[in-house]
């Protein structure tokens, strides 16, 4: 606190002095209250997270032969190299969360639990699944690796050409 | 604050009394309210200001300032992520926030930046996202201040590993030698060579314990071999007898050495069996220095044994003991019997059983007898031993753990004789006693212990080794890799050493190979040493006729090498047995050795091969075909390769050498089939007979 | 005072204030009494206090300051709980993460720690003052007992909080401390066993100490603090003559009481 603030009021009238201290007190408390809200927000939002990153590095595009469907069971995605380009599908059935399986002989993605069927581009062919499989954002990193962001769904039929 | 509000509503304001600072600020409730509120605000402001001025924010800001003026600022700015960065690998227990400050670790463009923490990391053997930082560098990865992250603090004992010991981190997972870790490999080799594991147990993560490679001689029959005086001098200071002696110095007093020598002689038993007798010729034949020296040379004794020359340099191999003062050490009759057949005294010795004639034994014995130092035992005078000395000597042998390395009848090898070293690399420094003036770090402790084992406290038993500074660093590196993380590694990351092979060839050939100690130099099916070529596929490599001739009279293939195959004086029967076995059993499954003829290639093809050899592939820079013109000494000489090697092997070798012998330095030149065939034809034309003809 | 009193008056007149606190404005003694009486927290206090009793020399505000540190401990403690898992693998790293990555986490932890030290100190100072001023004498003897219970709760809060960082200091301090408990005749080992939930300081002990520290002991402290404050009023407030310095000079009166 600057000295002048302490000294100046002394010269003032008693009432002014009181008013100054009241203002000082109320002002400090108001700033403290506003600060506490900001502080609370910063404190409550964690700076580090102990959760798996939604962004996956799935390796070089060359490791996926053309016209192939690759299931990464740990991350729950399909990486598909079609004639149009690369795309990534969620591999978890939209019905009750079973891990689906690619049936190369039929050319469909089928859920082993309740028989839902999806096309290779994730569209629902038959129930009981309520929705098609989600398309995730796919891009190429600067090192030339394919990256998949499981937290970002995109509209279907957006292929990544490499 | 609460107090001020509460009072305000209850209490009437009082009058101003004295104009002191205290009463100015706290003189009445209103003033107290105002001042206290301000104080509260100021004290609460500590929190955000501490956060704002935190170390990692400072570094991130300096990084941004640093890259601002650079040409690649846009790229660097795009890669930069503000806030605390974390690499979290639950499987390894890694929570690393190092990249919060070390922002440029992965920036290939920052080659010119030498300022830490922004320097880029040299080529990383592993992906940082999959391994983090502390796996290799140690330190406290979770910390976000320099001191906590790098140093040893009250709440974290393990500081960062000094860069010179960094290879130890590779050894946590990689038990087998890596090309990139020469220091670690050397440290492990030294540990095996000096037999640390004889006294210290080291349990390996993959199961089992570390094995020592040295086999200290059995002392059960030592009286047959040497004298009490020599034992006395040896245990007092082994390096005084031989500079390269592996036995450490136990710093024994005169009395201790006297009593130990008394005990060992008294404890010695005669060797059983009647084969142990001095060849009669040896006693009478006068020693002939020139004949002895040439036999010593012809037998390539120097491949394993070293001798100190006049200039003081120790010349020769380090597999067997140094022979500079062997005449002072062994009894002549023992030496003669040993040279005749070492397996009588020690059935498991690495020394081959040369089939020397009695005359040769006498010559060699006489020659070795001359290797002595008249002054070495001159000052050793021991009175006859007393039972008290023997008893005390036995006690000393037990206390110093002689039986940990040597076989001594009557003393059992002690279990857990010295502290276990399984987790020495992660031992908390609070559990260590440091010598005065020593930095309190684990590497300093370990290297200090290796330098002067007994400097730490009185009454310590570990003997003194004569390691060089580089050797101490290497062993420290190897020891630091034996740590908690290595023991608790997920199986996926562990790269255990392939278990030692106990391959044993069958039948009479097998006995013969043991007798000749083939495995002391050659490796077959994973067993043996890498001193000489691996013989696992030898039957596919060479021609049978050449092999027989080679076993009869080994001539060298690589003139640049001093280590050569010795001549064992085998009988024709023995040669036939060995060569039959090798040619029949040691064949590669990858091709049929009969699929290409060893001779009879058209001259055109041979000439084409010659052109390829000298022009296109310039093989003569490493190999010699024409001894007059070619100067290549790196690879084996190829003057008579057509009589030696199998055409099919040559062809496949040319196509892909590493497929046949992983790690060979022969480059893979990606030859076409035509080129490989032509070169094979040319090489197969280089025959012994052909050379003899040209000589004429 | 002029302006602020006006604001407060305006606020107190408002309907929202009145619906919550019921007491209105007014400088009359009745109004002022109503402010205290009608508030669930303030009614624990005496309605009237002699002005002279509010001089710092009388009580040194030790009880109030103790309560203040307790409130700081409660508020910071609740915030710290948001980043702390009472489990063996995580407790220590959570404590360190408060220092390393949680915004102002270290400030809160330090505040919690220093307030805890201050509270123990203040409780003792408070008790010494009460003792040497003779404020424990009838009719306040029961409040002295409550105070002793609060002292024990304060010490237990410090002790249980000691284990939570799960470092070496914590582990061995609790090991030693719980071994002291087992020195109690006959039931000592049972106490030790129940306190730790086992024979060693381990996961059970950590969880038990956590529950004690964050749940049982603070609740108990609040209940006893409420009784403590309420008893001040019931025992005649701060101006009870038995605690006045004049009473000390008048030494014949207590003797008669005995």
Give percent of chain B above pLDDT 70. 92
B495 lies in some domain: no
Tell whether B242 and B380 lie within a shared domain.
yes
Is A162 inside any structural domain? Answer: no
- If asked whether residues A74 and A143 sit together in one domain, one would say yes
Q: Treating both helix axes as pointing N-terminal to C-terminal, what angle do B673-684 and B603-611 enclose, rounded to 10 degrees?
A: 110
For residue A159, tell me if it sits in a domain. no
Task: Using the CB atoms, write b or e for B443-453: b if 16+ within 10 Å.
Answer: bbbbbbbbeeb
In total, chain B counts a number of residues equal to 696
In this structure, is residue B124 part of a structural domain? yes
> Which of B522, B551, B585 is the endpoint of a domain?
B585
With left for phi above 0 and alpha for psi between -120 and 50, is residue C178 left, alpha or beta? alpha
Query: Per the CB < 8 Å rule, is C97 touching B97?
Result: no
Q: Is the pLDDT assigned to residue C159 strictly greater than 90?
A: yes
Q: Is A62 inside a domain boundary?
A: yes
Domain count, chain B: 6
Q: How does pLDDT run across B461-474, given as a tens digit for each residue?
A: 899 999 999 999 99
**What mean pLDDT is predicted for residues A79-105?**
88
Closest CA relative to residue B96, chosen from B84, B106, B105, B87 = B87
Task: Note whether B45 and B59 are same-domain residues.
Answer: no
Going along B291-345, which residue ranges are E strands?
Answer: 306-308, 314-316
- A74 shares its domain with A15: no
Q: Are residues B186 and B261 in the same domain?
A: no
Average pLDDT over residues B667-683: 85
Q: Which residues pair with B308 in a beta bridge?
A: B314
Q: If DSSP codes are grouped into helix, strand and coil, which group holds residue B696?
A: coil
* Least confident window among A22-31, B37-46, B531-540: B531-540
Structural domain span for residue B135? 55-160
Chain C residue with minimum CA distance to B5 = C8
Q: Is residue B412 part of a domain?
A: no
Domain final residue pick, B32, B52, B72:
B52
Q: Is residue A10 part of a domain?
A: yes
Q: Does C172 touch chain B (CB under 8 A)?
A: no
Instruction: Flag whether pLDDT at B448 surpasses 50.
Output: yes
What value does the mean pLDDT take over residues C242-256?
Answer: 43
User: Residue B263 domain-assigned?
Assistant: yes
Position B591 scores a pLDDT of 81
A160 is a domain residue: no
User: Is residue B410 a part of any domain in this protein?
Assistant: no
pLDDT surpasses 70 at B125: yes
Q: Among partner residues B25, B33, B44, which is closest to A32 by beta-carbon distance?
A: B44
Q: Is the pLDDT of residue B169 over 50?
A: yes
Q: Is the dihedral of CA B390, B394, B396, B397 positive or negative?
A: positive
Same domain, A94 and A30: no
The mean pLDDT value for B38-60 works out to 90
Looking at residue B346, its pLDDT comes to 85
Whether A32 sits inside 8 A of B97 (CB atoms) is no
Q: For A136-145, B394-403, C5-14, C121-130, which range has the lowest pLDDT when averaged over its residues?
A: C5-14
- How far apart CA A112 and CA A91 sit, in angstroms, is 12
Residue A15 lies in a domain: yes
Q: B313-333 pLDDT, tens per residue? A: 888 888 889 998 898 899 888
Domain that residue A79 falls in: 55-154
Is residue B675 helix, strand or coil?
helix
Do both B538 and B575 map to the same domain? yes
Q: For chain C, say whether A15 makes contact (Cβ under 8 Å).
A: yes
pLDDT at position A2, please?
42
Residues A95 and A115 in one domain: yes
What pLDDT, on a 0 to 100 scale, did the predictor assign at position B558? 55
Looking at the structure, tell me whether residues B44 and B64 fall in a common domain: no
Q: How many residues does chain A have?
A: 162
On whether residue B640 sits in a domain, the answer given is yes
Do B295 and B375 lie in one domain? The reply is yes
CATH number assigned to the domain comprising residue B646: 2.60.40.420
Q: How confident is the model at residue B39 (pLDDT cuts 50, 70, 90)?
A: very high
Residue range B189-224, pLDDT digits in tens:
999 999 999 999 999 888 888 888 877 888 988 988
* Range in B41-45, B343-347, B451-455, C244-248 with the lowest mean pLDDT: C244-248
Q: Kindly state whether residues B113 and B233 are assigned to the same domain.
A: no
Q: A95 and A34, same structural domain? A: no
Judge if B533 and B575 occupy the same domain. yes
| C-beta atoms of A48 and B51 within 8 A | no
Work out the average pLDDT over B686-690: 68
Per-residue confidence at B613, pLDDT binned at 50, 70, 90? confident
- C-chain residues near A39 (CB < 8 A): 103-104
Do A131 and A66 share a structural domain?
A: yes
Beta strands in B136-227 (DSSP E): none
C140 — pLDDT class (breaks 50, 70, 90): confident
B114 vs B178, residue with greater confidence: B178
Q: Tokens representing C146?
A: 């409550």
According to the model, what pLDDT value does residue C243 have? 45
- Same-domain status, A98 and A150: yes
CATH number, residue A82: 2.102.10.10
- Please state, in angstroms and rounded to a whole number, the distance separating the CA atoms of residues C123 and C116: 11
CA closest to A49 among chain C residues: C101
Strand, coil or helix: what is B495? strand
Task: Determine the pLDDT at residue B559.
Answer: 53
**Is A70 a domain residue?**
yes
- Which residues of A are less than 8 Å from C97 in CB distance? 48
Across the range B66-76, mean pLDDT stands at 87
Q: Rounded mean pLDDT of chain B?
A: 85
Q: What is the mean pLDDT of residues B264-287?
A: 65
Based on the structure, what is the number of domains in chain A?
2
Same domain as A75, residue A110: yes
- Residues with Cβ within 8 Å of residue C9, at least 6 apart in sequence: C25
Q: Are residues A74 and A10 part of one domain?
A: no
Comparing CA positions, the residue from B394, B391, B418 lying closest to residue B404 is B418
| Residue B2 scores a pLDDT above 50 | no
Burial of B341 (0-12, 13-18, 19+ CB in 10 A): middle
Is the domain of B288 the same as that of B236?
yes
Q: Which residue has the higher pLDDT, B636 or B255?
A: B255
Cross-chain CB nearest to C2 (options A15, A26, A42)? A15
Selection from B292, B289, B323 nearest residue B305 by Cα: B323
CB distance C32–B145 less than 8 Å?
A: no
Max avg pLDDT among A68-77, B168-177, B613-622, C219-228: C219-228
The predicted structure's pLDDT at residue C42: 82
pLDDT, position C245: 47
Q: Is there a domain that residue B65 lies in?
A: yes
Average pLDDT for B351-376? 87
Kindly state whether C108 is in contact with chain B, defined as any CB-CB distance less than 8 angstroms.
Answer: yes
Q: Which two tokens stand for residue A106?
A: 């039929």
pLDDT score recorded for residue A12: 53
Segment C171-193 shows an average pLDDT of 93
Asked if the structure places residue B596 within a domain, the reply is no
Within a domain: A49: no
For residues A149 and A93, membership in a common domain is answered with yes
Sign of the CA dihedral B402, B407, B412, B416? positive
- The tens digit of pLDDT for each residue in B371-394 reads 888 888 888 888 888 999 999 999
What does the pLDDT read at residue A9? 46
Mean per-residue pLDDT, B153-163:
88
Q: Which residues of A touch B30 (CB under 8 A)?
A: 18, 21-22, 25
Pairing type for strands B527-528 and B523-524 reads antiparallel
Domain boundary among B585, B617, B636: B585
| B63 or C251, greater pLDDT | B63
Instruction: Based on the fold, state whether residues A124 and A78 are members of the same structural domain.
Output: yes
What is the C-alpha end-to-end distance of chain C, expressed in Å?
Answer: 49
Q: What is the CATH number of the domain that holds B354?
A: 1.10.760.10
CB contact under 8 A, A29 and B36: no
C104: nearest CB among A22, A39, A48: A39
B371 and B434: one domain? no
Interfacial C residues in 31-90 facing B (CB < 8 Å): 32, 35, 42, 49, 51, 54, 61, 64, 68
Decide if B34 and A21 are in contact by the 8 Å CB cutoff: yes
> Is the pLDDT reported for residue C15 higher than 80?
yes
> Are residues A15 and A59 both part of a single domain?
no
- Judge if B333 and B361 occupy the same domain: yes
B240 and B316, same domain (yes or no): yes
Q: How far apart are CA B553 and CA B542, in angstroms?
A: 16
Residue B307: DSSP 8-state: E
Percentage of chain B lying above the pLDDT 90 cut? 27
């Amino acid at each position: 606190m600057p000295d002048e603030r302490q000294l100046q009021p002394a010269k003032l009238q008693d009432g002014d002095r009181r008013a100054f201290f009241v203002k000082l007190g109320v002002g400090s408390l108001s700033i403290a209250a506003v600060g506490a809200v900001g502080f609370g927000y910063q404190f409550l939002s964690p700076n580090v997270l102990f959760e798996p990153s939604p962004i996956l590095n799935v390796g070089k595009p060359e490791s996926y032969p053309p016209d192939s469907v690759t299931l990464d069971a740990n991350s729950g995605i399909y990486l598909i190299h079609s004639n149009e380009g690369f795309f990534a599908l969620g591999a978890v059935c939209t019905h009750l969360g079973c891990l689906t399986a690619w049936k190369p002989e039929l050319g469909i993605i089928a859920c082993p639990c309740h028989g839902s069927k999806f096309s290779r581009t994730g569209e629902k062919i038959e129930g009981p699944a309520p929705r098609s499989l989600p398309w995730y954002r796919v891009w190429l990193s600067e090192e030339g690796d394919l990256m998949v962001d499981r937290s970002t769904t995109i509209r279907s039929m957006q292929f990544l050409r490499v | 604050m609460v107090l001020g509000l509460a009072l305000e509503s209850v209490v009437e304001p009082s009058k101003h009394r004295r104009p002191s600072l205290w009463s100015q600020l706290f003189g009445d409730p209103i003033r107290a309210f105002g001042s206290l509120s301000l104080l509260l605000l100021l004290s609460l402001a500590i929190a955000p200001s501490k956060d704002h001025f935190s170390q990692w924010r400072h570094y991130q800001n300096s990084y941004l300032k640093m890259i601002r003026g650079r040409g690649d600022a846009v790229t660097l700015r795009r890669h930069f992520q503000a806030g605390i960065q974390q690499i979290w690998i639950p499987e390894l227990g890694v929570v690393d926030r190092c990249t919060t400050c070390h922002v440029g670790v992965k920036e290939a463009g920052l080659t010119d930046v030498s300022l830490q923490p922004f320097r880029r990391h040299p080529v990383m053997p592993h992906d940082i996202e999959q391994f983090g930082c502390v796996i290799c560098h140690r330190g406290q990865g979770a910390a976000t201040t320099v001191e906590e992250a790098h140093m040893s603090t009250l709440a974290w004992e393990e500081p960062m590993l000094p860069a010179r010991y960094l290879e130890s981190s590779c050894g946590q997972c990689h038990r087998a030698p890596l090309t990139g870790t020469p220091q670690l490999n050397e440290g492990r080799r030294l540990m095996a060579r000096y037999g640390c594991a004889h006294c210290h147990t080291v349990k390996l993560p993959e199961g089992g314990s570390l094995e020592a490679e040295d086999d200290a001689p059995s002392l059960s029959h030592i009286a047959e071999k040497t004298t009490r005086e020599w034992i006395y001098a040896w245990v007092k200071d082994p390096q005084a007898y031989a500079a390269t002696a592996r036995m450490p110095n136990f710093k024994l007093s005169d009395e201790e050495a006297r009593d130990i020598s008394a005990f060992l002689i008294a404890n010695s038993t005669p060797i059983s069996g009647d084969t142990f007798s001095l060849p009669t010729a040896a006693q009478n034949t006068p020693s002939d220095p020139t004949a002895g020296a040439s036999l010593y040379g012809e037998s390539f004794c120097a491949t394993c044994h070293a001798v100190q020359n006049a200039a003081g340099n120790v010349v020769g191999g380090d597999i067997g003991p140094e022979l500079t003062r062997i005449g002072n050490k062994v009894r002549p009759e023992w030496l003669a019997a040993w040279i005749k057949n070492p397996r009588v005294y020690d059935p498991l010795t690495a020394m081959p059983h040369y089939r020397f004639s009695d005359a040769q034994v006498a010559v060699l014995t006489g020659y070795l007898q001359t290797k002595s130092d008249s002054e070495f035992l001159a000052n050793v005078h021991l009175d006859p031993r007393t039972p008290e000395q023997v008893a005390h000597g036995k006690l000393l042998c037990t206390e110093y753990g002689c039986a940990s390395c040597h076989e001594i009848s009557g003393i059992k090898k002690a279990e857990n004789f010295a502290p276990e070293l399984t987790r020495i690399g992660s031992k908390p420094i609070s559990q260590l006693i440091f010598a005065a003036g020593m930095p309190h770090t684990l590497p300093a402790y370990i290297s200090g212990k290796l330098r002067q084992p007994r400097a730490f406290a009185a009454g310590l038993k570990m003997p003194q080794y004569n390691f060089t500074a580089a050797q101490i660093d290497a062993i420290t590196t190897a020891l630091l890799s034996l740590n908690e993380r290595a023991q608790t590694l997920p199986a996926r990351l562990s790269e255990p050493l392939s278990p030692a092979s106990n391959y044993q060839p069958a039948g009479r050939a097998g006995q013969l190979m043991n007798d000749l100690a083939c495995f002391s130099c050659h490796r077959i099916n994973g067993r043996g040493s890498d001193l000489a070529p691996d013989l696992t596929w030898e039957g596919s490599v060479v021609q049978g006729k050449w092999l027989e001739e080679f076993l009869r009279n080994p001539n060298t293939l690589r003139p640049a090498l001093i280590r050569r195959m010795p001549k064992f004086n085998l009988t024709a029967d023995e040669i036939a047995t060995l060569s039959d076995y090798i040619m029949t059993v040691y064949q590669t499954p990858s091709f049929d050795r009969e699929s290409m003829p060893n001779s009879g290639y058209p001259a055109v093809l041979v000439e084409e091969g010659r052109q390829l050899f000298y022009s296109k592939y310039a093989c003569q820079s490493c190999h010699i075909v024409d001894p007059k013109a070619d100067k290549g000494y790196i690879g084996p000489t190829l003057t008579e390769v057509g009589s030696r090697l199998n055409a099919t092997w040559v062809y496949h070798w040319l196509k892909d050498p590493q497929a046949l012998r992983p790690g060979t330095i022969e480059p893979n030149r990606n030859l076409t089939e035509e080129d490989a065939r032509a070169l094979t034809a040319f090489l197969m034309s280089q025959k012994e007979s052909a050379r003899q003809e040209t000589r004429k | 005072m002029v302006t602020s009193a006006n604001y407060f008056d305006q606020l107190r007149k408002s309907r929202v204030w009145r619906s919550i606190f019921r007491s209105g404005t007014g400088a009359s003694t009745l109004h002022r009494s109503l402010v205290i009486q009608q508030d669930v927290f303030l009614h624990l206090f005496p309605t009237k206090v002699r002005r002279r009793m509010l001089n710092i020399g009388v009580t040194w505000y030790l009880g109030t300051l103790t309560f203040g540190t307790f409130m700081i401990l409660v508020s910071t403690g609740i915030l710290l709980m948001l980043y702390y898992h009472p489990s063996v693998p995580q407790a220590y790293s959570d404590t360190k993460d408060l220092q390393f990555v949680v915004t102002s986490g270290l400030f809160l932890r330090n505040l919690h720690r220093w307030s805890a030290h201050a509270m123990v100190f203040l409780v003792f100072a408070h008790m010494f003052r009460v003792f040497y001023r003779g404020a424990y004498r009838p009719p306040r003897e029961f409040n002295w007992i409550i105070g002793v219970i609060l002292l024990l709760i304060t010490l237990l809060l410090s002790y249980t909080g000691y284990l939570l960082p799960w470092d070496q200091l914590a582990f061995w301090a609790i090991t030693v401390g719980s071994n002291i408990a087992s020195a109690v005749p006959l039931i000592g080992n049972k106490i030790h066993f129940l306190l730790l939930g086992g024979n060693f300081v381990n996961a059970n002990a950590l969880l038990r100490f956590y529950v004690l520290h964050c749940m049982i002991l603070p609740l108990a402290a609040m209940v006893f603090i409420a009784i403590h404050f309420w008893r001040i009023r019931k025992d005649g407030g701060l101006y009870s003559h038995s605690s006045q310095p004049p009473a000390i000079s008048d030494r014949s009166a207590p003797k008669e009481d005995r």
